[in-house]
A and B are shown apart, each in its own frame.
Chain A
Amino acid sequence: MDNILEKLAALGVDIKDGMYRFMDNKDLYIRCLQKFPAQAEKCTLHSDLEAKDYEAAVQSAHAMKGVTGNLSITPLFTRYTDMVNRLRAGNTDGLEDLEKEISTIQEEVCSILKNS
């Protein structure tokens, strides 16, 4: 189990912050992390952006912002926060690039969690 946390830490997941939030309940933290791939699969941000449905996109990004924040998946949390802020401000330039970055990191995180 510690192996998962080490691999995630290498991707920038803030394990110390996560353990603090989960009040040192490592089992629960890992259990919640392992639920993340299913949550990520439900996220429709990519299709929302493709359809230029920015209202739906902000809802999707907002939900993922909360979850990634609570799991201390910092590289995703910061990017989802950026996505939400840009969408709220009506700034749609470069959203696809940001979504690609998110997608790449998310796949790496999910890959570790699915194979653990």
Chain B
Amino acid sequence: MRKKILIVEDSEIDRLTLKNILSSQYKVVAMDNGYAALQYLARMHEEVACVMLDVQMPILDGFETLRLIRESGLDDMDIFMISSEATLINVERSLKYGVKQFIAKPFDAKRLLARISQMFNETGSHGSAASAAKGAGVPVSRAEIDIKETAEFILKLNGIYKYYMKNSSISDEAYVRVSDLMKILLPEYAVHKMNEPYTTTQIDIIAKAAYFYDLGQMFFDAKDRKNEAHTTMGANMVWLNTSPGCRFFVENCAEMCLHHHERFDGTGFPHQLSGDDITDVSRLCQLAIAFDSFFYRLSDVSNRMFDLTLRDLRADSGKFDLDLISMLGEARLEIIRYYAKEVPFDK
């Protein structure tokens, strides 16, 4: 059965445009104001899978409508906010109301449908071991063991790594941020580049794997931390786990350990890989590392600082896939929201 989406948008042109896009795959009901939407939801909310609210509407704007939806206890639907701008106030209000997604105007039909499809897919199979195992190429019959084994391995690796960091007085904050950035970038990447998007569990596993990208530093003294061999050492350590159940984590983690210093133009190390020879996850991981190291240093979390960071990344000619930097720009809202929430301003 086709899922039903409720659009709340005061501009008739924007409403018709969005309705036309969504109608190709979903049942769509469109309202031109927040009050009408609330009345409709009071009767029909069980049929509605998702609500799309324009931020800027007269009298009752999108966030105010959302507040009333929440207060009425009608909060079991996915919410998208529609806006042509990721202003700081929109980011702050999104945080306050727990909004997951923004739809940018002008609408990009293909991208929008892919995002919704991915969201419904995730909602329907959230945390599903079977779907993660399917994506990782692991037999479904071993799914429960796969997830359990993977979780246990991550826990062990984490214990070792944390012990090392504590004894070396190294903070893991930057690694946590890289891991979180991966969680934001992977769904974005999947929409742009992949025929079959990652499942939520796969994204979670890859993001956790990214935390360990610099694991190989453990094998070197503080004065020797720039030793190129740390990439190989880290990967070798992860590869010690040969269990088929952990394969998805091991492959992705080792890959990021090994190739996070490669460059898009082939002048990196250890293997001088270039272009698409560097895997998706490694390219994303490199970008997340570089983005964080630029953005975190800046004085505040704002659109202007975000733009400065993108400029600096683009200026490092040859290091990154420029398409990925553009994609990073499209995830601006979520990234700014993350840093605004997670990173103290008085850092």
Binding site for B on A (CB under 8 A): 20-23, 25, 28, 31-32, 35-36, 39, 59, 62-63, 65-67, 69-72, 77, 84, 88
Contacts and interface: CB of A to CB of B under 8 A. Distances in A.
B105 A32 contact: no
A22 B85 contact: no
A70 B17 contact: yes
A21 B11 contact: no
B106 A63 contact: no
Contacts of A39: 11-13
B9 to A, nearest CB: 9
A46 to B, nearest CB: 19
A71 B20 contact: no
B20 A63 contact: no
Given A21-B108, A36-B13, A72-B106, 6 more contacts: A21-B109, A23-B20, A23-B109, A25-B20, A35-B13, A63-B11
B167 interface: no
14 contacts: A21-B21, A22-B20, A28-B20, A39-B11, A39-B13, A62-B85, A65-B84, A66-B14, A66-B105, A67-B11, A69-B84, A70-B17, A70-B105, A71-B17
Nearest to A32: B13
B46 to A, nearest CB: 29
B24 interface: yes
Contacts of A62: 56, 84-85
A39 B9 CA distance: 14
A39 B109 CA distance: 23
B68 to A, nearest CB: 21
A65 B105 contact: yes
Contacts of A71: 13, 17
B121 interface: no
Contacts of B87: 88
B63 to A, nearest CB: 15
